Amino acid sequence: MKSRDRLRIAMQKSGRLTEPAQDLLARCGLKFRQSRDKLFCFGEGEPVDLLLVRDDDIPGLIAEGVCDLGIVGRNVLREFQLTNGTGSELSELRPLGFGHCRLSIALPQEDAYSEPSQLHGQRIATSYPGLLGEWLRAHGVDARVVMLAGSVEIAPRLGTADAICDLVSSGATLVANQLREAAVVVESEAVLAGRAELPLDERGEIAELLLRRLDGVIQVRD
Ligand code: ATP
Ligand code: ZN
């Protein structure tokens, strides 16, 4: 593969992380020109370009070397690391201080919860089988993981699961679906993801410059 001399950052095209990620990059002094397909944004000052994609695709794009860095939820990054053989070379370079949420197990409101062993033999619906599986093993719980790509919160009412494991921020969605939060599996926020080792060429130097600027911006905000 022909090596690139410009750094490429992947971020969510449209969703919760889009605006705060754009703000953060702007505060790091980066400016972009948007292309007509709105997928690729050319960096106008520094040699840094943006790729706008679905958040779920970001870890894979970094693992395959299509992008060097990505702004993505810790939940998505860690799920990729657990379920893809190649994910182990990826690492969380910086927590970014926005997109806070938690991946939690929730039960129907009428079910009291006191400890993990209660979940033995239960069917738990989730889009995060890797993270849920890790939590269940760590707590010695033998439950059945039901994989659902979306609308996880309605599974208990449909009778396809006894509990769910899904992202929660305010908890309003849980209440609306008559569920209660029982246990937190992962505390998440947006993170800067990259391969554990930065490239040794010019791109690595640009990445280091960007990390230094990012640290300055994050410190000022704290
Ligand atoms: P895409 O089209 O990119 O796949 P999506 O629907 O998967 O979009 P969003 O709902 O925009 O993604 O969520 C993106 C990220 O925002 C999540 O992975 C998570 O890290 C974070 N997040 C923060 N609060 C919440 C919340 N209440 N529900 C879901 N995600 C949240
Ligand atoms: Zn997504």
Ligand 1 atom nearest to 100, measured from its CA: 23
CATH number of the domain within which 145 lies:
3.40.190.10
Q: Do residues 94 and 21 share a domain?
A: yes
User: Residues 170, 212: one domain?
Assistant: no
Mean pLDDT of 153-172: 97
d(CA 160, CA 184): 22
Q: Which domain holds residue 177?
A: 101-188
Note whether residue 77 is domain-resident: yes
pTM for this structure?
0.95
Per the listing, tokens 């299509």 go with 66
Same domain, yes or no: 133 and 23: no
Q: Summarize pLDDT for 9-25 with one digit per residue, the tens.
A: 999 999 999 999 999 99
Q: Report CA(187)–ligand 1 centroid distance (Å).
A: 14
105, 179: one domain:
yes
For residue 178, tell me if it sits in a domain.
yes
Residue 89 lies in a domain: yes
Residue whose CA is at the smallest distance from ligand 1 atom 14: 16
115 and 70 belong to one structural domain: no
Q: How far is the CA of 78 from the centre of ligand 2 (A)?
A: 14
2 vs 65, higher pLDDT: 65
Regarding whether 114 and 93 lie in a shared domain, the answer is: no
Within 6 Å (CB) of ligand 1, which residues are found? 12, 15-17, 54-56, 73, 75-76, 99, 101, 167, 169, 188
Q: Look at ligand 1, atom 3, and give the residue with the nearest C-alpha.
A: 54
Q: Are residues 116 and 146 in the same domain?
A: yes
* Ligand 1 atom at minimum distance from 75 CA: 20
Report the separation in Å between the CA atom of 55 and the middle of ligand 1, taken as the mean of its atom positions.
Answer: 8
Q: Is the pLDDT of residue 221 over 80?
A: no
Return mean pLDDT, the chain: 94
* Beta-strand relationship, 69-73 and 90-95: unpaired
**What pLDDT was estimated at residue 35?**
75
Q: Note whether residue 24 is domain-resident.
A: yes
Q: Whose CA is nearest to atom 28 of ligand 1?
A: 167
Nearest ligand by distance to the CA of 10: 1
Quickly state the pLDDT bin for 2 (edges 50, 70, 90).
low
Asked if residue 183 lies in contact with residue 104, where contact means CB atoms within 8 angstroms, the answer is: yes
Cβ(187)–Cβ(169) under 8 Å?
no
Query: Is residue 1 domain-resident?
Result: no
Structural domain count of the chain: 2
Residue nearest to atom 12 of ligand 1 (CA): 15
Ligand 1 pocket mutation pick from 14, 19, 55, 61 by most atoms within 8 angstroms of CB: 55
Q: Which residues pair with 72 in a beta bridge?
A: 191
The interface predicted TM-score (ipTM) is 0.98
Contacts (Cβ under 8 Å, ≥6 apart) of 78: 130, 131, 186
Query: Which residue minimizes the CA distance to atom 6 of ligand 1?
Result: 15
| Among 75, 92, 94, residue whose Cα is nearest residue 196 | 92
What are the pLDDT digits (tens) for 94-132? 999 999 999 999 999 999 999 999 999 999 999 999 999
Nearest-CA residue for ligand 1 atom 21 is: 99
User: Do the Cβ atoms of 166 and 104 come closer than 8 Å?
Assistant: yes
For residue 196, pLDDT over 90 is answered with: no
**164 and 201, same structural domain?**
no
